[in-house]
Structure 1
Amino acid sequence: MATSGVASSTSCANAAASRHASKNGSDRGGCPVASILPGFGQGQRCQRRGPARLWLPALAAALPFVGPAGCAALTGAATTRFADGLSQAILNQDDPELVREGTPAYLILLDALVRSEPDNPRYLGAAAQLYAAYGIAFVQDEARSASLTLRAREYGTRAICAAEHQACHLDELQYDAYAATVDQLRPGDADALYGYCVGSLAFIRAHSGDWAAIASLPKIEHALQRLLALPGAPNPAGVNMYLGILNTLRPEALGGRPEVGRGYFEKAIELSGGRDLSVKVEFARSYARLVYDRELHDRLLREVIDASPRQEGLTLFNTLAQAQARDLLASADDFF
């Protein structure tokens, strides 16, 4: 699996970029690795387009850590209630620009918490998630995004090391040793493993020109699969969506597994009760466009546009998802 996974990851840029070259010179909305983190592109052929909605689930998972887990230890129940309420206020915000402007304060808070307890896997994992979300979803400058996501990856690797010492230097292991180490992780390590995965994917997305980074995708996919097997792991809908994207980076003829990816997207919709509109947007972008299923593509996007974005804990994501759905639907005639 390691050999074939790395080989297919290394070849995915040419495969996916050329796949639609004869179709008005467009692809699924970005370069191949950009599909991991849709919405932003890098390089000459991949232009930045707006918030990378995929990383908002990471923001959702990180904020509760910053609130109850972080502040409670420092200032007690009153601040805990305030931080929890602030987290929910952000997730229920329908103005993404306001969130973009306010999130750096959380980053500084997390840096301070990590400095106070440098081996605390909860703080490290939360920092990895929030730096990943902010660096990809809200930062337009490519150099700054690369720097922030590098910090996300560093926090993620420190988190998994702090949670399980055998997982230290995880990224340096060959695939088989990596998989064996990840498979030994326990339910108590799930939050740290999630932070590690999110930080690693953000780094890969922001360093899409680095083939060494891209070659690590099979490892991260295995880690995500391990997360699904751990009871009580965070954000199972988001993990299924990430796996759906990874399995639809390439058409089946070039080593992709689009039907496996479809299964992950459908599971993510089921787990979210259909309330998370971003899953349907990614289902349309990553799967329906890959297999040229115009009927499914348009149906999913119309469902997103017609739905109410106001869902507890999902309003921010849904607001961004609806904007992306309109863009994808508007470009459908050119694509198909």
Structure 2
Amino acid sequence: MKGFLLLSLIIGFTGCASFQRMVTRTGINVGIAPGVSHMIEAIKETKSGRLVEKGLADHLLIVTGMVEITEGNFRLLNEAAFLYCAYGIFMEEKEPEFAKELFDIGKDFGLRALKQNRKFRKGLAAGKKIPELVGHLDEDYVKPLLWTGLNIGLWIVHNMDDPAALMGMADAMALVERSIELDEKFYHGAGKMFLASYYALTPEYLGLGGGPENSRQMFEQSRAVENGNFLLVDVLEARFLATITENEDRYDELLNGVIEKEPDDIKGIRLINELAKMKAQYYLSHKSDYF
């Protein structure tokens, strides 16, 4: 309710042109972004996944409102793209249709951030494809590259029965691969974790880098970034690679290991590790759905 009331105030203010001018003129635009970023960093450190799951929707509304108040602040667009992706991952088993909506919105925020690069923006306007344009994006764009790619890719995973949706995978791959080129360890190796999942879903004979062995190697590379402390890697290996290869023992080993492990206290991944534990419990209790 608090989040809803705050958003109502934000929307009211946003509709006032004089307020928008005041935001830009007084520098409030500059001051809002760090404050919101600090809020999101605090969320990432929360130990209770259930607490965040219940409260994250309010935070999404607040951040969304702040993005519009600041007329597309680059930093806030990145935070919004991350939050929508994270919330979609929270909800994808319980409410898959809602998760797809979240990933789609997160993609839009990420693209808005990427379009702040003039060459990328003009290239899209001229009809060029994303894979042709990612080379224009440098280290300043690692965050939106990854979050946009993940949002697109996760949306596609939930629309695998739609051949038209699969056409977007080239965009997702180009964005994530470019983020890895610029910083392969960004967000604890999440880019490689995504590639590993994609490789598990892609038959080797297609010649797109997929197949079980390439997937296994990429999961190992992703796991090595935080020495096994980024637990979502194990969850996704179980969910995608172990199921594709019909390896029930590996599935059980990985998921039970996630539940039992007390990972090192690494800044920025407490929440994601709690999420990983919740997903591990879900996948174990629904094992018959995957084998």
Shift of 1:335: 6.3
Shift of 1:250: 3.8
Matches within 5 A, 1:319-330: 319-329=274-284
State yes or no: 1:160 paired with 2:114.
yes
Contact kept, 8 Å, 1:150 with 1:203, in 2: the verdict is yes
Shift of 1:277: 1.4
Q: 1:195 to 1:325 in 2, by over 3 A?
A: closer
* Residue identity (%): 26
2:24 is aligned to none
Matches within 5 A, 1:1-336: 73-74=30-31, 80=35, 84=38, 86-138=39-91, 140-141=94-95, 143-167=97-121, 170=124, 177-205=129-157, 207-231=159-183, 234-252=186-204, 256-308=210-262, 311-312=265-266, 313-329=268-284
Shift of 1:229: 0.7
If the length of structure 1 is used for normalisation, what is the TM-score? 0.64
Unpaired runs of 5+ residues, structure 1, are 1-70
Inter-partner Cα distance in structure 2 for 1:304 and 1:96: 15
- Please list the CA deviations of residues 170-206 of structure 1 after superposition, one character each: whole Å capped at 9, or x if unmatched: 49956xx532311232112222222321332343345
Shift of 1:242: 0.6
Inter-partner Cα distance in structure 1 for 2:223 and 2:237: 9
Q: 1:157 to 1:237 in 2, by over 3 A?
A: same
Contact kept, 8 Å, 1:152 with 1:203, in 2: the verdict is no
Inter-partner Cα distance in structure 2 for 1:195 and 1:130: 9
Inter-partner Cα distance in structure 1 for 2:180 and 2:46: 29
Inter-partner Cα distance in structure 1 for 2:120 and 2:288: 51
Shift of 1:315: 3.1
- Please list the CA deviations of residues 105-139 of structure 1 after superposition, one character each: whole Å capped at 9, or x if unmatched: 32223223322333433222222221232244237
Matched residue count = 260
Unpaired runs of 5+ residues, structure 2, are 1-27
Contact kept, 8 Å, 2:131 with 2:170, in 1: the verdict is no
Q: Return 116-125 or 182-191, whichever deviates more.
A: 116-125
2:16 is aligned to none
Contact kept, 8 Å, 1:92 with 1:311, in 2: the verdict is no
More helix by share: 2
Counterpart residue type for residue 73 of structure 2: N
If the length of structure 2 is used for normalisation, what is the TM-score? 0.73
Q: 1:169 to 1:105 in 2, by over 3 A?
A: farther
Inter-partner Cα distance in structure 1 for 2:283 and 2:68: 43
Counterpart residue type for residue 300 of structure 1: L
Q: 1:294 to 1:206 in 2, by over 3 A?
A: closer
Contact kept, 8 Å, 1:126 with 1:195, in 2: the verdict is no
Q: 1:327 to 1:94 in 2, by over 3 A?
A: same
Inter-partner Cα distance in structure 1 for 2:57 and 2:278: 24
- Please list the CA deviations of residues 204-258 of structure 1 after superposition, one character each: whole Å capped at 9, or x if unmatched: 3455554322221122112211111114873151111111011111443576422
Contact kept, 8 Å, 1:161 with 1:169, in 2: the verdict is no
